[in-house]
Structures are given as structure tokens and as C-alpha cells.
Chain A
């Protein structure tokens, strides 16, 4: 998994690529925890994300809850496979998908 970030004012965009599973999810959680201070809008760009496991979903969920308190979190460009995971798991009801 690879994460690249860019900041525009209070908007932080994170591009996540590769596989987001049990081994890589804690890394993403740490990265988000470290860089979300003062962010009002967090955009997660999943264009290059190939796979997400339940551990990854957990990170999306906890980040979503956290960001709801200080602003919002948006998920962008999820490919059909990832989108299906979101649908099947019901996450599409919770997360802001664009």
C-alpha cells in the first residue's frame, strides 16, 4: 500500500493505492491520525486502491466518525470492485461516496 498526500488549506487529499488489508490498515490509520489535525475536509482518493479488507473498512469507519466531529470525509473514485465491497458491507449507507 502507498499513501500520497497533498494539502490545500484545510482540505487534505490522500491518495491510497495498492491493498488495504490487516497488515497495511494500521499504517493508514497512523498516517491519517498524524495528518488530520486541523483538517476540515478529508478526501480519500481510492482510484488506485485494488482491495480493501474488513480491517481497512474499520479505518474508513473510524476516520469517518472522527472527521464527522471536525468536518467531513469524502471518498472518491472508488473502482467498481471496491464499490461493491462498500455496497455489500452496507458501508455505502454510511460513508460519503462521490
Chain B
């Protein structure tokens, strides 16, 4: 029972499972939300940045832009002097444009707006070594309005771009269209968005206006967003979790718990059925399950009741059969020595039925002082029908003989006709019947389909007496039975038996057979009939081993001593 103890019940499993699912869903919702939010905000910033850059580019005339661009390029190639730069930077027009751009930067809350030209040769030929040494500088500044004046680039100065933006920049400058990529960098004060707008005249990129906008608010916004989503979705999920758990407990866990406890109760205290199972009304599989278990419990109770009755009936029949066995055993002479006052012969017989009652029987009795009748018979079939038939057959034979009939043939004919009357069950009985005149040792015997008798002459061996038999008794009305004379000399012995002896079968389905029987008889010569029969029975038992006794085992031993008795 302990093995089946529930360690981690359905309730716990469902709660933990649901909680995990809810947590995952919330996390996914937050991630997707934050990602979308971030994208749309940066998109917006990016658009604003490009518009601003475009506006800034409009402060220059084409002529001015071309002039400045050309100058810084030549200056960096060593083809123009510092004087030429100074002349421009000190011109009123340059200062005017710078003011405009600076104002625009301030009004846009941007960190920086600057105008530059890219040296395309350098941009195209990236050199890692020079990049690391800060000698790879494709950017030539035309004007810079960085919010920290000390860090502003002066006209003609050169600078670098991050190598990861090089290809996009190159593409933008060559095509004249700004890059699709949004450049966001993490600066000292939070995220910055940088946009570089190519200034194009007649399809030719002359310069670029770049703008860097801080996105300091973005991080806080996103955090706020996440918090909001966390609270809202967390709450929603919590409510969903509670509803889900309540639902599952009510419609799944609770009914199953009832079914389980009812089933356990039934197992523990058998036969007790409670109403709880029939009250489960979930209208689903669990209801079906509970009804099935209920029906099963009812059925089991019925079966138990049935088995009780059947067992009681069986016990009753068993008891009756015991009585029947006793009656049957009592019907056959079983007190030995059977004739203490008759020294002329010794007789012993035994029967062991395979079932409670059997169809075999033996009998011996004195018809008068000088005539002894001996019967060995076997009713076809076994059990109660055979036993009932045996009772009739035995009684009829004995009665007929006791009427003073000395002819076995006539006795059997009479018994045959009586047994055939209304013998619907078609049972028949094989009979060996011998009537011996005790004073002379002469006798008559009839064999109605029975096993061959065994005879042992005084100094001889046990051997079968084979001759053609008459049909068994009760086979056909009106049949005649052959009889023959025999004579026993003092010291001669007879042994008769039923087919249970030669047909005793061992576990290999081998028959004991008459050869083994004769051998056993001859090995035990000289014993009293009682001991002889015990020896034969032992020989049969040893042969059969553990195989079940299949047929009745019946034997009769007789020794004739003559008038003088056993001396």
C-alpha cells in the first residue's frame, strides 16, 4: 500500500504546471512588448533625426557645400593650406550657417549636428591595423556643433567611424540614400541615436550631415512600460491562474480524488459501496469512469455473493459425496479376515476410487456353506452415475446368486435383462463372476467383457488366463453369457482386478500394463493376499508417480487351501 502512496498529487502538479505556463507567457508578452516598443520609438527618433539632418543640409547652398567639401578634401590631401581653411571659417557666411545649425541642435535637444565629407578611397579600403592605431580616418569635418565646445571638431580635421558601420555608410554615400539600419550607441548618458544624411546634388553625393540624438528617456520609458505590462499581465495571469486552478480542482481533481478514495475504500473494506460515486456529475470521461467503477463494485459484490453460494453448494455436495463414498465402501465387504471360520481359503480385496465415488466394485459372499461367489466389476464411466449403476448391478448380482443360482451365466443373463430395462444412460458393466464349490475346488466362471483374470498354480507363476469374453452386462437385452468350468487345487491363487491397474498412467502417458502387473505379482509370491494387494498398489503408485489417479483401482486376491486349510 505504501508504494501506492501519492507523493505529488494531481492538485500540486496542475498548480505548478499552470504557474510555469503563466510565468512563461508573461515573460514572452513582456519581451515582445518591449521589443516592439523599442523598435517603434527608435523608428520615430530615426525619422526625426533624418528630417533634422535634411533641414540642416538646407542651410547650405549647393555652391557652398561643394566649395567646403572640396576644400577639406584637398586640405587633407595636402593640396590646400591652413590659411584657406581659416579664411572660410572666419567668413561671416560660415559663422552664420554654424549659428543656424547650432540653434537647430539646441532646439532639437541633439548632442551634435555636424557636416562632413567621406574620403571614399579610405572608406573603401579598410585597414584593421590603422583602425586600431586611430590612423584610419575617412571622415573630413566641414562643420561641427557638438554641445561641448571643447570637443568640437574644427573644419578640415579628420576622424573615424566605427568599423561595423563602414559598409552601410559606404553604400549610403555611393547610392545617395541614407542607410536602413538604425544606429544606436550606448554613450555615457544612455542611448544615442546617430543618423548620417547624404547631401546629394544632381545624383552626386557631395557631403553628409550627421546628427546624434540622445535617447535618455527611452530606457526609462521602456522600464516603465515593462513595469506596467508586468503589473497588468501579472495580475491578469494571476486571476487566470486562480480561475484555472479552481476549475481544474472542481471538475478534474476533486472528482478524481473522490473516485480514488472510493476505490481505495472498496479495496480496503470490500463490499461497501457508497453513494458518492453516483453523485459525480461532470458529464465527461470522469463521470463515465466513476460510473464504471461503481458498476464494477456492484458486479464484484454480486460475484462475491455468487462465489459464496457456489462454494457453500460445493461444500454441501462435497459433504454428501463423502457420505456417498462411505456408503459405497460399506457396501463392499471390508472386514478382513472375511471368513474367520473358513480355513479352506484366504480372500482379500480393496478398492480405491479415482473420484469421490467410483464405478468399480468387488464382492464375495457365500451362497451356501459350500459355494463361494466372487465378483469383480467395472461400470463404464466414472463418478456419481457410475456409482449409482454399480449399486444396482452389485445388488442384482448378489440377490440373484443368493436365490440359489450356481450358474454365473444365468445370473448374468438375468441381471443383464434387468439392467437393460430403461437403461437410457447406456451405461454398462464388465463383470467377472466366479462361483466355487469350496469342498472340491471346482467352479464355474463367466467373463462379461472384463479384464483377463490371473491364476497361479501352486508351484507356478502368476499368468493371465486369456479366452474370448462375453459382452459386458447391460449392453443388449437378451444376450447370453458364456461360462466355463475351472478347478483349483490346494495352493492355487487367483488375482482379479479392474482396468485401473493395467491402465494406470504415468506422466509420460505410459501404461502400467499387464506385464508390469504380472512381474509385480511374481516378485511378491508367497505373501498373504492382503500384503500382495498392498505390494501391487505400491508398484502402481511408484509407476504413476505424481500423475493424478485417473481410474478406480480395484483388486481381489484369492488363495485356495482345500479341505485341509493352510498348513
Which A residues are closer than 8 A to B by beta carbons? 22, 53-55, 57-58, 61-62, 65, 87-91, 93-94
Contact = CB atoms under 8 A, between A and B. Distances in A.
A22 B383 CA distance: 11
A90 B449 CA distance: 5
B522 interface: no
Interface string B456-482: 000000000000111110011001000
**Chain A to chain B: the 9 pairs with minimum beta-carbon distance, closest first:** A90-B471, A89-B449, A62-B426, A54-B380, A90-B449, A58-B380, A90-B470, A90-B469, A93-B471
Interface of B: 378-382, 426-428, 430, 448-452, 468-472, 475-476, 479, 499, 503, 550
A90 B426 CA distance: 16
A88 B380 CA distance: 14
B470 A93 contact: yes
A56 to B, nearest CB: 9
B410 to A, nearest CB: 17
Given A22-B382, A54-B378, A90 B472 contact: yes
Contacts of B499: 53-54
Contacts of B428: 54, 57-58, 61
Given A58-B427, A61-B475, A89 B469 contact: yes
Contacts of A58: 380-381, 426-428
B422 to A, nearest CB: 13
A22 B380 CA distance: 9
Contacts of A54: 378-381, 428, 430, 499
A88 B449 contact: yes
Contacts of A94: 471, 475-476, 479
A87 B475 contact: no
Contacts of A62: 426
A88 B471 contact: no
A55 B381 contact: yes
B381 A65 contact: no
B426 A91 contact: no
Contact of A88 (B426, B451, B475): B451
B479 A93 contact: yes
A57 B471 CA distance: 11
A23 to B, nearest CB: 9
Contacts of B430: 54, 89
Given A54-B430, A61-B426, A87 B381 contact: no
A89 B469 CA distance: 6
Nearest to B424: A62
A89 B426 contact: no
A88 B449 CA distance: 5
13 contacts: A53-B503, A55-B381, A57-B380, A58-B427, A88-B469, A90-B448, A90-B449, A90-B471, A90-B472, A91-B475, A93-B471, A94-B475, A94-B479
B258 to A, nearest CB: 51
Contact of B452 (A88, A90, A91): A88
Contacts of B452: 88
Contact of A87 (B451, B469, B550): B469
B134 to A, nearest CB: 106
Nearest to B468: A87
A84 to B, nearest CB: 10
B57 to A, nearest CB: 109
A96 to B, nearest CB: 13
Contacts of A53: 499, 503
Contacts of A88: 449-452, 469
Contact of A89 (B381, B382, B471): B471
Contacts of A93: 470-471, 479
Contacts of A55: 380-382
Given A55-B382, A58-B380, A91-B449, 16 more contacts: A22-B382, A22-B550, A53-B499, A54-B378, A54-B381, A54-B428, A55-B381, A58-B426, A58-B428, A61-B428, A61-B475, A88-B452, A90-B449, A91-B475, A94-B476, A94-B479
Contacts of A89: 430, 449-450, 469, 471-472
